[in-house]
Structures are given as structure tokens and as C-alpha cells.
Chain A
Amino acid sequence: MSDHYSIVISGEAGQGLRTIEKLIDQALKRAGYHFFSTSEFMSRIRGGNNTVEIRIGNSPMFAFVDRIDYLLVLADGAIRRLEGRLSPDTLIIGDRSSIQRKYQRQYDLHPVSLRDLADQAGHRITMNTVALGILLGLLNLDPRPELRKIKRIFASKGKKLVDINSMALKLGQREGLRIPRRISLTPQESIKKGWLADGTRAVTAGALTGGCHFVTAYPMSPSTGVITRMSELADEFGLVVEQAEDEIAAINLSIGAWYAGARALVTTSGGGFSLMQEGISLAGITETPAVIHLGQRPGPATGMPTRTEQADLNLAVYSGHGEFPRLVLSPGNLHDAFHLTRRAFELADRYRMIVIILTDQFLLDSISLLNPFNFSGFSYQNHFREGRPHHPTYRFTDSGISPRIVPGHGEGFQMVDSHEHDPWGRLTEDPDLRRRMVDKRMRKLDAMAGEFLQPEVIGSPDCDTLVIGWGSTFGPILEALERLNAPRTACAYFRQVYPLPESTAGILNRAKQTVVVENNAGGQLSRLIRQETGIATDRKILQYDGRPFSVESLVNQIGRIL
């Protein structure tokens, strides 16, 4: 077998798949293995069929694969849905009674009755603990840290729960050790120091590091995790966390907070972001900073609430009525989810600008390791000043950035208006003032240009084929190109999708052939590139079935055009 393994756990909503995933990831980190895990789930609370994919390997990865080496079945009905991903090499682990006979004949089965083991441990409810035990056995991992963890988790719920879960884990682990082909990799010490995170956690920590002390949202998958995590930290970090009555309130609450000098975050998804349009426009004309995390999922309207897509680039780029500048950042991995979110706050504050962080369900719900980094390189500086008398809110400057004051901090008045206004923030309909104010606002993008994040080219820029990606397609593209191992092929990764950095045209022109990979139907980045640079990309690889690109699918599609 290769040096990468893929384990898929399949069960119903409510069976605790997410808990198994988090615990096994922790065990993998402790063991010193590279791993990546991602979950896909239905929009329901109980039942249905959900899966978690856990990849383990000798090198880092941040991509989904179709291949399933081990399928651990927790409930009936899993296999029919996953059949296309099974191969003669797949080992199915599960209860004979949960797997139709025809599949038992077709695939390699290692029969284990999770239900019986759970009953034996003391209660059916421990099935997910049994599953965790089986995985520990399959991976040859020491179960003792997990036993300690169980003690901690269930301590408050009584000795009986600790006992039956400990027993379930032991029974499962013993069963896992009986699996004929088990996974064995060489541990790497450095991994043990990695920081376990999903995209949500990376965005959350990035916001905190960026000085965010205020977060508001109306719950909407897949973006809710950010406010949930911050709520857990509110006391310790002194954060104001408020669930708004709707997204219109959320964006306006955050605008109020920024006006009063706080750094505030709004987290939402497409539908909620649509409701915020008017508020985004308000931030635009009042030059109130704003940081909006837009976790994409498939639309239109309700679309597929728990699935993934990259179809809100246009929405972000053109959000809000009227003309005003904004910056749109699109992290493609955990590292960037952290660093771009941190940076968003700095830039929003300094330029009195709207910054949108565009993620998606795939990135937010995928778990891997962040390479530890030092915080000593970061510095924090507020960009408002202590107020003095006669301070104009919208002073004309070369950069377009008018120094900001906040109420309650010094003298002067911060007079802010959603009407067109004069430098003092008093409303005006004067045509000359209007023109100058529009120019002043737009000029801020020129001032910011030196800080734009240029696309990163991996491989030689003078290539035959340049594969272009933004956001979460970066991981799958990178791995697909590694597998293809084609000479003269490179990848261009856009961390900043709007404004398109000025190096874009040059990078595209150096390649003989350009291919854009996007998780949407319209090729939104491709169109944006054409609009901004006049360059038409040669090919598009688009996917809009609500699922992330698999490495195999990209290998096939890119391979065909090389």
C-alpha cells in the first residue's frame, strides 16, 4: 500500500462521528503522524448517513480523496452511498447485519459487531467509543491516553459512564488489533508539537490575534462555529459575543462596535451575507471598518446547507449598493485561515475598509495541524487616535485615509453619516464634494496596493500549464500536481481574490496554458481575471455538486489536458 491511508467512518447523525474524529486526530498527532480529516454530513439532527474521512500519511496534506482503504460502518445503509469509492483493496469493518450480502461477497469484510461490543461494555450508547477503540487498534496506537481522556470527559457524569466507556474502548481496541492489515507508519517528532485545528478554529484564533473583541452572528452553517468558539472564550479573553436577531442586526451591531473603537467580527454564510448588503454599503460610505467572515455553502437560497461550494465570490466582490472599496481574502489552508484573518483586522482598521474573509464548509470543517509559529512577529496597533477639538471625520488626505477618533477618547466629535457628507460628516448634496468624497474613498485601494497579497506560484512560473486556484481548492490542486508529477506544470494560488493583485496578468502571461479550478458552476475567478486583466483563461475545471474536489478527480481532469 502507499504511504497514505484513508479511513472512512460511516454512521448516522447523532452517533458521535465528530467526537470520534476529534479524538482520533488527537491520537494521531500524539503518535506523530501527518493526518487530515474532513466530514460530510446531511442537514439533519438524527439519522441519515454521514461520513468522516481520516487520512494518515508520511507527508502533510489538506485534501479529500475518493479512495477508501478502510470503511468502518456504524449504521446500515452506508455502503450503497459510498459504493463508487470502494475498491477491491477496501477493507470494510463492521457488523455483518449492517452490510448487504451482495457487498459482503464483493468486498473484503472484517466482521466486527460494534453493537454487541457496546452492549457487552454496558450500553449501546458507547458504540462510538467502541469505534474509537477499533481505530486505535487498527493504527497500532496506545489506548492509555484515550482512557485517561474518557475519565476526564465523563468524570462529572458519574463512575458508571467512565467504566462502560473505558470498557468499550478496550473491547474496541482489542478487536482493532485483530484486523489483518493494520496501519503502520514512521512517527515524526515534529508533528507532536503541531497545533490541532479545523478551519473554524484557525479563523477564531486569527480573529483573536487580530485584536477582535466583539463578535456577532445569526446562526448559519457552516459559519456558526466561529461565534460558538468565541463564546466559549468570552470570559477568558474579555469578548463581547452576541447572537443577533438577524444578519441585518449583526452587521449593524458590528458597525456600532467599530465606531466605538472595538475590533468586531461578523460571521455568516451566503444567505446571511445577502441580508447584510445594505450594512456593507453603510460601512463603505461611513468608512467604518468591517471584517466579515463569509463561510460559503451551496446556494441559491437554502441550497445545500451542510455542503461546500465557492459560488459567493461574485457576491463578496460586488456586495453592497453603490461604489466603495473592499478587500476579499480567500485562505486555502489552516495556516492562511489564521494569518489572513489576523491581517484582515489590521487592514480594516488602518484603511477604514471592509475586509471579507471567504472560506467554505470544506475548509471550516476540515481538521489537520497548524505548524506552530511565534507570536513575537506580531504587533498590535490601534489606528484611531485620541480626539482633539475640531477633528474632521472625513478629512481629505493623499492616501484617502482620514484619521479616526472614537467617542469617549479625547475631545472632538466623530460625526458619521450614511448620506454623502462633507469632511465634518455633515450631509451634503454638493456635486464637487460628492466627487471628491467618492475619489477619496476609492483612493484607499491605491494606498493599500503595496500590501496586496500576490498570487503564490508553486513550481516554475515559465510553465506549460498553470493551474489556478483560490481558497480551499489549493490543497487538492497541490496534491494532484504532486501525484501527476508532470514537469513544466505549476500552480498559482490566490489568497487575495479582490482586488486582483497587479502581478496577476504577468503570472498568467508566462504560462503557455492556464486552467482555473473552482468549486462553482460559473468560473467566477476566471471571469474576474478576464474582466480585470483582459486575459481569458484557457480551461476551467468546475465542480458544483456540493462536494469538495477529490485529489483523484483533479488528477484525472488535469491529467487529460497536460
Chain B
Amino acid sequence: MARTLINLPPAPKQGDVIEVRTLIAHPMESGYRPGADGKVLPRDLIRRFSCLYDDGTSREQVFQAELHAAIAANPYLTFPLLVTGAGTLTLVWEGDNGFTQTESVALRLG
């Protein structure tokens, strides 16, 4: 399990637009870089990130991103979200070599 950081503003109100900030510990090995032995290190990337928002009435994907080799190691990604109710955000990172990680975070209204 990779370490993740997820940051939401402390007490958003219904109708606010908030910024969700995420970070995951991952090397994002590009597949273009030689290692210590001179051989190119195999590619190991997070390819896809998505966020599902369950606001109490529906559970929908509200954001999705495709990441490529040009994303820096330990991918940091922020995205906007319209607060439509208290609920849960489910964040999913998927990548090479079968990498998947899912984190859920509660969204509480102020």
C-alpha cells in the first residue's frame, strides 16, 4: 500500500466549489531512464486516477485523469468539486503491474 495524502477544506457548505488535493507515494518510473547497471528501468506508472462522490442521493464519478510519463514522481493532483451534500469521496489510483489503490474520505459539511 502506497502512502497517500488527501486534503479537503475543513467545513465546506452546500453549493461551495472546493479543491480536493491528493498525493500518492509512487516512483512513476518513466521507462526512459537507465538504472545503476545502465539498463533502462522498466516502466512503472500510475495511469489513471478517478474520484467517485457519494453525496447521499447518488454515487457518481466526478473526476477522472489519465497520467503519462511526464507526471513527476509521487503524483500530486488537485481537482475541483461542487459540494452537493455530505458524503464520501472514493479515490482510485490504477497503474502498471496491476497497481490499484482505493482510499475513501468523508466529506463533512460545515
Q: Do the two shown chains form a genuine complex with each other?
A: no
